[in-house]
Amino acid sequence: MQFLALSGSLRRDSINSAVLRAAKRLAPDTIDVQLCSVLGELPLFNPDQLDNPGEAVRRLWYAVAQADALIFASPEYAHGVTGTIKNALDWLVSFEPFAFKPVAVINTSPRARHADAALRETLTTMAAHLVEPASVSLPLLGAHLDEDAMVSSAEWAPAIRSMLLALSEGVEQAVGSDPECAFQGL
Ligand SMILES: Cc1cc2nc3c(=O)[nH]c(=O)nc-3n(C[C@H](O)[C@H](O)[C@H](O)COP(=O)(O)O)c2cc1C
């Protein structure tokens, strides 16, 4: 199973990016977590460019189409989602393979309620399939842990692994409930 992980922070020492890198390392053999590295290269969304969006957008579209599920982890900026993540989502609004994609939303800050709610609202509006058991709060802000420390943490490593397993179960349930897949015996 392939998961695409999207961080809403471009900051070098980003907690959100670190937790996604940790998830890649903690994933069981059955799950491959790819980190989406193209978000900082996307042009600002312009509907006029949808027919010829350029290399970075095509890479995003390809990665999303290939993924069985998406994992979002984004900071809150001024009570909203970051421009980085909103811009990426705007490029995906009319991208058909995004619809019904199972997604997990990770919130790394216990006080960032507005961005978490806004991200969920946008994803739901875009017809993503929000997998609630995998959409968890991992309040790592202030814990002063880097990626290595998260991977070796007795508290956080199991929580991150549980999130991945919950998302994989969400994918399996979504496939099982898709009448087209059932018809094709997939
Ligand atoms: C421009 C800016 C605005 C922020 N606004 C908020 C906010 O409204 N609410 C909040 O809880 N944290 C806010 N923060 C704090 C960030 O969410 C926090 O530093 C977070 O860890 C950044 O994520 P990162 O480590 O992945 O880059 C803001 C930070 C920045 C740089």
- Element containing residue 23 per DSSP (H, E): helix 15-26
Ligand 1: which residue has its CA nearest to atom 12? 76
What confidence tier does 180 reach under pLDDT thresholds 50, 70, 90? low
Count other C-beta atoms under 10 Å from residue 91's C-beta. 24
Index of the ligand 1 atom closest to the CA of residue 17: 26
Q: What is the pTM of this model?
A: 0.94
Index of the ligand 1 atom closest to the CA of residue 10: 27
Q: What does each C-alpha distance from 49 to 42, 44, 96 come to in angstroms?
A: 12, 10, 16
Centroid of ligand 1 to alpha carbon of 86 (angstroms): 15
Q: Look at 72 and 143; give whichever has higher pLDDT.
A: 72
Residue boundaries of the structural domains of the chain? 2-184
- Reading the block at residue 55, the tokens are 């290399």
Index of the ligand 1 atom closest to the CA of residue 111: 11
As a whole number, the mean pLDDT across the chain is 94
Centroid of ligand 1 to alpha carbon of 83 (angstroms): 12
Q: Percent of the chain beyond pLDDT 70?
A: 95
Ligand 1: which residue has its CA nearest to atom 3? 77
Q: Residues with Cβ within 6 A of ligand 1?
A: 9, 11, 14-16, 75-79, 109, 111-112, 141
* pLDDT over 50 at 185, yes or no: no
Task: Please check whether the domain covering 2-184 is classified as CATH 3.40.50.360.
Answer: yes
- Which among 69, 4, 26, 28 is positioned nearest to 155, based on CA atoms? 26
- Which among 147, 72, 84, 141 is positioned nearest to 112, based on CA atoms? 141
CA dihedral over 177, 179, 185, 186, signed as positive or negative = negative
Residues 106-160 have pLDDT tens digits of 999 989 999 999 999 999 999 999 999 999 999 888 889 999 999 999 999 999 9
Using CB atoms within 10 Å of the CB of residue 94, give its burial: 0 to 12 exposed, 13 to 18 middle, 19+ buried. exposed
* pLDDT over 80 at 182, yes or no: no
How far is it, in rounded angstroms, from Cα 132 to Cα 129?
Answer: 9
CA dihedral over 89, 87, 10, 80, signed as positive or negative = negative
